[in-house]
Structure 1
Amino acid sequence: MSDNIQEGEVLRQIEREVRMREGASKLLAACSRREQALEASKSLLTCSARILALLSQLQRMRKAQILQRVGHRPSEEAVPSLGKVSLSDLRVPLMWKDSEYFKNKGELQRCAVFCLLQCGTEIHDTDVVMVDRTLTDICFEDTIIFHEAGPGFQLRVELYSSSAVEDFSPGALGPRRSSRLGGSVGRSSGKKIRAAFESAAVCGANVGAGSVSPPLSPDLSTLGPKFNLLAHATLTLEHVQEGFKTHDLSLAATEDDPFWLPLYGSMCCRLVAQPLCMIQPIISGQLKYKLGEDLNCWGNGFSVLRGQNLLCYQSQEDMESEDKPSLEIPITQDTVVCVSERDPDLCQTVNIISWHQGEEVTFRLTPPSPEDTQRWTETIWQHIYNLSQWKQCCHHLMKIETQGSKKAIPARQGSLYHEIVTPSAPGEGHVIPDLSVEICALLSSYYKER
């Protein structure tokens, strides 16, 4: 992908996030219930974080272009493969006073909490969790997956809190707009608001392609509840392992803050990684491979490099049918690869020196042509480098557990759901139309009135 195409894609992402942020701010002003306002405020903060991350990426891209124009050559160092990083089952223990937790004394402290997770330019947020002194842990059931992480990734986890005991005054947009938005979207649930944010980006209103939406007006950006940074932590490759692990939290607030919660100072989560070099075939093709100690005993078949093994089959059909390979060559970060010529045909042979069953063993391969020899050799070298960079993540393939389907929550009377569902034939329940289309139409008409 050329630099201009990449820059154009980043600009489109920035434009989309700006429109989503503006739509979130409009909806925040129209919310009539606190839970709706909290959801809108969270999305507003998430959109702003994504915009800042994309602007930083755009700045790095333009700096690289300037250096290239003045004759600065890009680094020729090997670049490790990317991979997936997953964080799940996040728990933040609380440390209430005995009088608060056991005797239920003192002023009731109730906060809305969520986590913002950033790895590079990928930013995700969790659901909002209501926390009071009846809970001993803040539990986030979300499974967050970052799809383009390198081995040098830094995953920043930020815990945000908003006091839920403060008075909530619904925003006012004026009689006409309030009646149009507040009467429908204002009574919808948090999930409907999230759908509206996506619809706002799709609708685009009267903003043309390639342009940037105007900034938020100050009065809209100050409406609604505010989330404040409570604590944060940064996770790296060294923290990746199977199972749960405890990590230290750095506090960013004090007991005097209204959004304060008595954190224990740590968090527990499951952080796993799947490098692409472990989950997809790296190279495949025809190879001759030496069998046993007899120098004249060679096999000829189809081979594929996958994970920590170079698998040699008698044919491609055997590989596709997942038959047992004729030869299995271990490839680890300690493997040594070199090329030699053997008489009398002066054919180039790829020598792979690795450890097999506790002993150093040399495996010999002969590709069909010198070009294939170079291709196989360079690919195996790069693969060994990838394994060395991802370290413990390549000892075996870690499993990323996807979040299971949640049970549907019955809608409340008076919500947008009950306002637009249409009754169907007896015994068939209700027919639910596409809510995003309805909200998209509302937002589109709202923007046209601006």
Structure 2
Amino acid sequence: MFCRNQTARATVARGSALEMEIRRGKFRKSVFLDTSQDSDIQKKIDHEIRMRDGACKLLAACSQKDQALEAAKSLQTCSTRIMAYMSELQRMKEAQVMQKVTRRSSDAGPMDDRLPCKGKVAISDLRIPLMWKDTEYFKNKGELHRCAVFCLLQLGGEIFDTDMVIVDRTLTDICFDNTIVFNEASPGFELRVELYSCCSEDDYSAGSTPRKLASKLSSSLGRSSGKKLRATMEPGPCSPVSNGGASPLLLPVPSVPGPKYHLLAHTTLSLSHIQDSFRTHDLTISGNEECSYWLPLYGSMCCRLAAQPHCMTQQMTSGCLKVKQLGGDPQSWTEVYAVLKGTSLFCYHRQEDVEANVEPAFTIAINKETRIRASEKDPQSKVQNIRISNQYGGEEVTHTLTTDSREDTHRWMEAFWQHFYDMSQWKQCCDDLMKIELPSPRKPAPVTPKQGSLYHEMAPLATPSCEGLLLQDNAVSAEIRALLSSYYNDSY
């Protein structure tokens, strides 16, 4: 037990808030018996911390507006993910302390003991209409107000961001073409959509002025003295310094010169908002016209929100059955290999037909209107039968199922009850299988056209086979090319 607890402690980052709680003895030893999930979340937190540090350094070094806006977007996204993972880790610890270990029921116990299946939730075709003044949109009068916007979408521990879009009065809608899929949603999910905005007309080059000045001074003073001067004028590391073992994650986002995004509007979507069509949802707007990041929103957004519960897309159970339709020959049993999936019990002649994608011999409807009950024991086999009844055009049709053992009958009945419970929780998502389009791939970065400078003529020649300091494809030449690029871009 001692060794396992020591291993659990090792999965917690040194100096983190969780480690301090462990030292204070606020968590019992039994909390750390299963640390696989804790370790996974901790790895995600560590990864986002590294990404956030990189975004901070990139933002501090950017001299171009579009680069700075993308770096600030990455910084905002990483910070949001860190806080979400920390909250998820805290919820797990609280559940472990309170011994709230839940599992899918293995017997026909109370319905409250069951857990509904998970599922996919996808949001696509996101549109946010704008409401410009007539003088701005039609007459093109007034100062051109331009903002960079993007959306953050969070469902549980999953957080995604859309592409960044530049918005001005020439646009009537903010359009995001991304299709975002959350793979581990429960029917009680809450999908939070946040719209962030940043004025792209502000001057972000002020943060680089000390570095440019220091560079010029260092070249004038010489290598040794100039190096010391640059060290004093360069900004420190972007991550907050740990204070007394406190977690840097709990401190505010580091302040870095450059653009900053602000929350412009948000909304929360749930199961009741899912419909296999394009719908409008209300937005809660933050800020006002005095804010530099302000955009005239209508107060609504349009999107398509779809869901695919696992009970609709995956095999919930399968096995050999004997089937007899009511009214048929009492001795005419059909042996089938049955698969429970979606709104049907698929009956195949052989198990190999399932793997070969052969059409089933017949199907039995399994939906919210289906009635299933266990009949009296068969006097010959001593096994309970399962009766499935459905209404077809006002007429009731009943199929009788039987298995080879009492255990198989119990397994099938439990699978049916769990399937009905999943359907009752996912509601309209189980009427028909909704279609979810795969996310579109990220667009590649545009290639910078030739501009006749030394940098643009040299860059295409930089291959591993080239010789010479400037033309070698290594870290040094890449840094030189980046500096040359920044110089020529600033010159033009």
TM-score (ref. length: structure 2)? 0.74
Please give the secondary structure, in 1, of the residue aligned with 2:75: helix
1:296 pairs with one of 324, 328, 331: 331
Deviation at 1:336, TM superposition (A): 2.9
Aligned equivalent of 1:287: 321
C-alpha distance in structure 2 between counterparts of 1:417 and 1:84, whole Å: 49
Residue of 295, 315, 325 corresponding to 1:261: 295
Higher relative contact order (CA 8 A, sep 6+): 1
Highest Rg: 1 or 2?
Answer: 2
CA contact (8 A) 1:232 1:250 kept: yes
Secondary structure class of the residue paired with 1:147? strand
> For the structure 1 residues 372 and 35, does the alpha-carbon distance in structure 2 shift closer, same or farther, using more than 3 Å as the test?
same
CA contact (8 A) 1:94 1:264 kept: yes
Q: Secondary structure at the match of 1:35?
A: helix
Who is 1:228 aligned against?
A: 262
For residues 351-430 of structure 1, the aligned pairs below 5 Å read 351-405=387-441, 408=444, 410-412=446-448, 413=450, 419=459, 422=462
Where does residue 79 of structure 2 map in the other structure? 48
> Which amino acid in structure 1 is aligned with residue 78 of structure 2?
C
Q: Percent identity at matched positions? A: 51
Residues 174 and 216 of structure 1: CA distance in aligned 2, closer, same or farther (over 3 Å): farther
State whether structure 2 residue 374 is matched by structure 1 residue 339.
Answer: yes
- Distance (Å, rounded) in 1 between the aligned partners of 2:397 and 2:311: 23
Partner of 2:242: none
| SS of structure 1 residue aligned to 2:205 | coil
Matches within 5 A, 1:68-87: 68=99, 77-87=113-123
CA RMSD of aligned residues (A): 3.3
Q: Offset at 1:26?
A: 1.0
Aligned to 2:163: 127
Is 1:97 the counterpart of 2:128? The answer is no
Is 1:4 paired with 2:28?
Answer: no
1:66 aligns to what? Answer: 97
CA distance in 1, matches of 2:78, 2:35: 24
The answer on 1:276 being equivalent to 2:310 is yes
Structure 2 distance, partners of 1:268, 1:65, is 40
Answer yes or no: is the 8 Å Cα contact 1:21–1:47 preserved in 2: yes
The 5 A counterparts of 1:166-185 are 166-169=202-205, 171-172=207-208
Deviations 1:242-291 (A, max 9, x none): 22111111111111111110001111111111111111111111111113
- Selected match of 1:312 from 341, 347, 357: 347
CA distance in 1, matches of 2:262, 2:457: 32
1:190-224 deviation per Cα after TM superposition (whole angstroms, max 9, x unaligned):
xxxxxxxxxxxxxxxxxxxxx99966999952321
Partner Cα separation in structure 2 for residue 19 and residue 405 of structure 1: 24
The alpha-carbon deviation at position 391 of structure 1 amounts to 1.2
Measured in 1, the distance between the counterparts of 2:137 and 2:264 equals: 21
Contact kept, 8 Å, 2:320 with 2:335, in 1: the verdict is yes
1:361 CA drift (Å): 2.8
Q: CA deviation at 1:3?
A: 3.1
Query: Which deviates further from its counterpart, 351-360 or 247-256?
Result: 351-360
The alignment partner of 2:151 has SS state of: strand
Alpha-carbon deviations, 1:162-199, whole Å to 9, x = none? 011212225349869x98xxxxxxxxxxxxxxxxxxxx
Q: Provide the residue aligned with 1:240 in structure 2.
A: 274
Q: Which amino acid letter does the alignment assign opposite residue 437 of structure 2?
A: E
The AA in structure 1 aligned to 2:262 is: N
Letter paired with 1:66:
V
Per-residue deviation, 1:65: 1.5
Asked if residue 146 in structure 1 is aligned to residue 177 in structure 2, the reply is: no
**Contact map agreement 1:82 1:148 (CA 8 A) in 2:** yes
The offset of 1:308, in angstroms, is 0.5
Structure 2 stretches of 5 or more lacking a match? 1-31, 104-111, 216-244, 466-472, 483-492
In structure 2, relative to structure 1, the CA distance for the partners of 1:220 and 1:10 (3 Å cut) is closer
